[in-house]
Structure 1
Amino acid sequence: MTRPIRSLLATAIGLALAGTATAATQLTVYTAVESDDLQKYAERFNEAHPDIEIRWVRDSTGVITARLLAEKDNPQADVIWGLAATSLLLLDGEEMLEPYAPAGLERLDPKFVDAAYSRDGEDPAWVGMDAWVAAICYNTVEGERMGVPQPTSWEDLTRPEFQGHVIMPNPNSSGTGYLDVASWMQLWGEEQGWDYMDRLHDNISRYTHSGSAPCSLAATGETVVGVSFAFRGARLKSQGAPIELVFPDEGLGWDMEAAAIVAGTDKREAAETLLDWAVSREANELYNEGYAVVAYPGVAQPIENYPEDIVERMIDADFQWAAVNRERILDEWQRRYDGKSESR
């Protein structure tokens, strides 16, 4: 073999080995995390783990949940990251999740971990990240102009002066919407919950397919009242929107963003790495930039525009009940109220 040929061959082998060494494992991750936070989380994870390339598939909670269920027999995702715990409980019931105990799991608040872990000592099917909490966004300028007072309770939204001035999310497509419906039923019981929603429906101008949209619409003055969640309202108020956040007297429904490995993934090692990072102190400090309640005790610092007693205002949510009854409740909601939903 001549020297030029040997040199070319050595170069080719070197390039091939280098390519192999730097080739990233690609994970497909389904998420409902808010877009402005997703980029921040993704960048921080990539800094720590440049050997893992993530293909993010983002949509609202209801859409992602429906997509995962439709793909049950042919899963396309490797990891679910930042989806409602109620959705993950539903998926776990369908045996679609791969149990895994991330490194550092024992440091988390137990209520942010699949109950099977503390009850039976089994690896959890899912782990929580942070809690998002129901709130009302009220536009002070439009409210004064239209003679619509600032509400203090959920019941206030059924009063005649609010007719046509309330927007809330459709629970079939929005996790925030389902959080509201399930929490009202847990606060008052199903019969009274449906009665409340019948009266509220009379005042609704439309139902959106995004949980953050009602607050964004209140911030721009397109509605006076948006039933949404605290994270979005707090951020918009900090950016100068003329809104007040209302935390209704009766109590605040909530759900948690959570993560899990999809059963059957052939990227198990990389998936575990993402779950390890998701429960880390570093990740929880990032979550706390927008959410007042996170899974890692001692991390959460006060968030601007949140009440200091936000945890005390959160209801004793039964996520298992919400997951088991989800399909039945959504079907009934659709039958009663879908006529005011915006087109997709």
Structure 2
Amino acid sequence: MKKAFSKKLLGGVATTLAAIGFLTGSVSAEDLTVYTAVEAEDLKRYAAAFNEVHPDITINWVRDSTGVVTAKLLAEKDNPQADAVWGLAGSSLLLMKKEDMFETYAPAGVEKLDSRFRDNSDNPVWAGMDAWVAAVCVNTYEAEANNLPMPTSWADLTKPEYKGHIAMPNPGSSGTGFLDVASWLQMFGEEDGWAFMDDLHENISHYTHSGSKPCKQAAAGEVPIGISFAFRAAKSKSQGAPLEIVMPSEGVGWEMEAAAIVKGTKKLDAAKKLMDFIVSKPAMEHYNQGYAVVAMPGVSKPIENYPENITDSMIAMDFEWSANNRDAILAEWTNRYDSKSEPKN
């Protein structure tokens, strides 16, 4: 199933490889191939910050959505092409940890991270960066035009008046979509979770292959309601979009971005320097420009229009359960709902 899923996702994918080097003087002594699902707009900034500390190491980014990067790494397990992963869902990294795909390394300063954002095993292989939290973006203008009441819960979104008015990310290609599905199965229980998704599917207009896209579409008035993540909603609202950010009363799922060194890299010393930077305070300050919750306590600054007391809405996610059941969850979801997914680019 894993191989079939990997091949399916990789089949039509054109992965963008962008070499971003910010060198100060001489030719780079070393380069690192780094796989990521970080928003493309942030990559240049991350690389520049790293090169302020290590100007002799160039980062060659390979970026795609969470599902595609996860599938690519799994497909390359026996012939790895990446040196490191910087910014991929924690549940994906836990899946790959189970497959023994990462080098053991505890970055310098990792003990300063919140315990939820670090590998606390005797042989740590990953470290967390930040967290993104599910939210519902509602275009108030479009909701009024379509006589849609403001939802307050996940259950509300299954009501008949919302039919055809909701967009959501596909969990196979989007980390946000997967955290939604995993959280519903954990929150409601597996039987009731799938029953909820059956009802929600009746009201879905389409599934996207990007976690931010449903909220961007809601912000643009292309759909009244987008299931997305809170930071994207806050950013769109701050840019003037007529959005209401809803944190459903049952609670919301969340996921962390994390990093690791790929086992077998021939550039282990450089990869360790990268991991040391990834958990540093300067790196956390950069993450805070795109995420309200970062791994190092005391670093986060308030984000305009970000929901207050959002941690009160975050459920206790079991990331190991999500990782261990990922293939089965995606197979079941695809069988039930993939007919409404947008075409892959």
| Fold shared by both chains (TM-score > 0.5) | yes
Q: Which moved more, 1:122-131 or 1:83-92?
A: 122-131
% same residue: 64
Query: Which one-letter code corresponds to 2:117 in the other structure?
Result: F
Pairs within 5 Å for 1:321-332 = 321-332=321-332
Deviations 1:126-156 (A, max 9, x none): 0000010000111111111111122111111
8 Å Cα contact 1:24-1:50 kept in structure 2: no
Matched, 1:73 2:83: no
- Per the alignment, residue 106 of structure 2 pairs with 101
Pairs within 5 Å for 1:280-319 = 280-319=280-319
Q: Which moved more, 1:196-205 or 1:103-112?
A: 103-112
- Alpha-carbon distance in structure 2 between the residues aligned to 1:38 and 1:159: 40
8 Å Cα contact 2:167-2:208 kept in structure 1: yes
SS at structure 2 position matched to 1:97: coil
SS at structure 1 position matched to 2:261: strand
- Alpha-carbon distance in structure 2 between the residues aligned to 1:217 and 1:31: 24
Q: CA offset at residue 339 of structure 1?
A: 0.6
Matched, 1:174 2:174: yes
Q: CA offset at residue 286 of structure 1?
A: 1.3
Q: CA offset at residue 22 of structure 1?
A: 4.0
Q: CA offset at residue 115 of structure 1?
A: 3.1
Identify, as 1 or 2, the structure richer in helix: 1
- Per the alignment, residue 11 of structure 2 pairs with none
Matched, 1:82 2:83: no
- Per the alignment, residue 260 of structure 2 pairs with 260
8 Å Cα contact 1:293-1:311 kept in structure 2: no
- Alpha-carbon distance in structure 1 between the residues aligned to 2:209 and 2:271: 30
- Alpha-carbon distance in structure 2 between the residues aligned to 1:294 and 1:71: 30
- Alpha-carbon distance in structure 2 between the residues aligned to 1:129 and 1:332: 30
Matched, 1:242 2:242: yes
Q: How many residues align?
A: 320
Q: CA offset at residue 49 of structure 1?
A: 1.6
SS at structure 2 position matched to 1:202: helix
- Per the alignment, residue 33 of structure 2 pairs with 28
Mark the structure with the bigger radius of gyration: 1
- Per the alignment, residue 131 of structure 1 pairs with 131
Query: Which one-letter code corresponds to 1:46 in the other structure?
Result: N
- Alpha-carbon distance in structure 1 between the residues aligned to 2:147 and 2:120: 48
- Alpha-carbon distance in structure 1 between the residues aligned to 2:149 and 2:88: 34
Q: CA offset at residue 44 of structure 1?
A: 1.4
- Alpha-carbon distance in structure 1 between the residues aligned to 2:166 and 2:331: 22
Query: Which one-letter code corresponds to 1:317 in the other structure?
Result: M
Gaps of 5+ in 2: 1-24
- Per the alignment, residue 12 of structure 1 pairs with none
Deviations 1:294-342 (A, max 9, x none): 1111111221112221112110000000000000010000100011111
TM-score relative to the length of structure 2 = 0.91
- Alpha-carbon distance in structure 1 between the residues aligned to 2:237 and 2:51: 30
- Per the alignment, residue 16 of structure 2 pairs with none
User: Structure 1 275/163 Cα, relative in aligned 2: closer, same or farther at 3 Å?
Assistant: same
- Per the alignment, residue 119 of structure 1 pairs with none
8 Å Cα contact 1:137-1:215 kept in structure 2: yes
- Per the alignment, residue 196 of structure 1 pairs with 196
Gaps of 5+ in 1: 1-19, 117-121
SS at structure 1 position matched to 2:94: helix
- Alpha-carbon distance in structure 1 between the residues aligned to 2:306 and 2:37: 22
- Alpha-carbon distance in structure 2 between the residues aligned to 1:39 and 1:343: 28
- Per the alignment, residue 333 of structure 1 pairs with 333
- Alpha-carbon distance in structure 2 between the residues aligned to 1:37 and 1:150: 33
SS at structure 1 position matched to 2:32: strand
Deviations 1:46-92 (A, max 9, x none): 22221010110111000000000000111000000100000000011
- Per the alignment, residue 343 of structure 1 pairs with 343
